[in-house]
Amino acid sequence: MGKRIGIVLFLLFVLAGCMNQEVATTEENVLDKEGQTIIQTEQDAPLISPEEEKKNIILEDLNMRKDTVLNQDYGESVEFGEYVSGVKTRMKTNDKVIALTLDACGGENGSGYDYALMDFLLENKIKANLFINARWIEVQKEAFMELASNPLFEIENHGTEHRPLSTVPKSAWGIASTSTKSEIVDEITDNQEKILTLTGKQPRFFRSGTAFYDDVSVQMAEDLGVEIVNFDVIGDGGATFTKEQVEESMLLATAGSIIILHMNQPNSETAEGVKSAILTLLEQGFSFVHLHEYELE
């Protein structure tokens, strides 16, 4: 009996040694920052989450698009303005629906947050597409993340430095445009990447600072994977309208209208005008939708 127990114990030790050898084969010698060898096993290796993997795939596609656009000859531009060829201004529908689009422009005089306006939309469950500039995100990071996590709002791209888009030097409302293909790509994609990194989602729509473009930049934007969206109703005149003017302008909306407003000027009368106008529009049978719910024209 004693011999049998001894044999069993011996076999167990042998098996244990084999198991340790199998584990050792999964180890990998790597160097740390000081050049010293450290042991890293498969179990210790960092894992990439599905969310991070998705981001990496999107970024890879965006980088490929950037290279393609920068190496493509688009010819010379012939148009410059808010309503050039390819810019979408309405939803293609006869349904009584309206898309609210709110800009947050950023910069020294444009990085505020209109809590009264946004709280009203939240309380009344009003959908909106938020066109956010990179500079506004930097100042309002916490508010941005809260808005991005709310399904009532869809985050869109309002540019990196809030510049009009053009392949040659132009200006709109006193703001100098981009002047090269490379600057156009940076104005679109730098903020595209910022929003993707923070939210895990890539904006589908783009609106430039001042909403001015040339026809070449519109084609470039589409090749970069975004659709340029302006408006057919100017809701608050860059947050300069009185509440009466805001209400009057918004009530001009028809089936499929896209309204532009601003959410970055809390001292304006935009919020008060929007409250009155939305309540009236709801009474008239309109509903508010996201841009992606309808084909744009």
DSSP three-state, residue 292: helix
- Rounded Cα distance between 141 and 20, Å, is 49
Q: Is the pLDDT of residue 14 over 80?
A: no
CA dihedral of residues 52, 134, 150, 255 (deg, nearest 10): -120
- Exposed/middle/buried for residue 25 (C-beta within 10 Å: 0-12, 13-18, 19+): exposed
pLDDT tens-digit readout, 114-167 = 999 999 999 999 999 999 999 999 999 999 999 999 999 999 999 999 999 999
Confidence of residue 231 (pLDDT cuts 50, 70, 90): very high
Beta strands in 42-79 (DSSP E): none
Residue 1 has pLDDT above 50, yes or no: no
Average pLDDT, the chain: 90
Residue 41 has pLDDT above 80, yes or no: no
Q: How far apart are CA 297 and CA 57, in angstroms?
A: 29
Going by pLDDT thresholds of 50, 70 and 90, the confidence category of residue 22 is very low
**pLDDT one-digit tens code per residue, 56-92:** 999 999 999 999 999 999 999 999 999 999 999 999 9
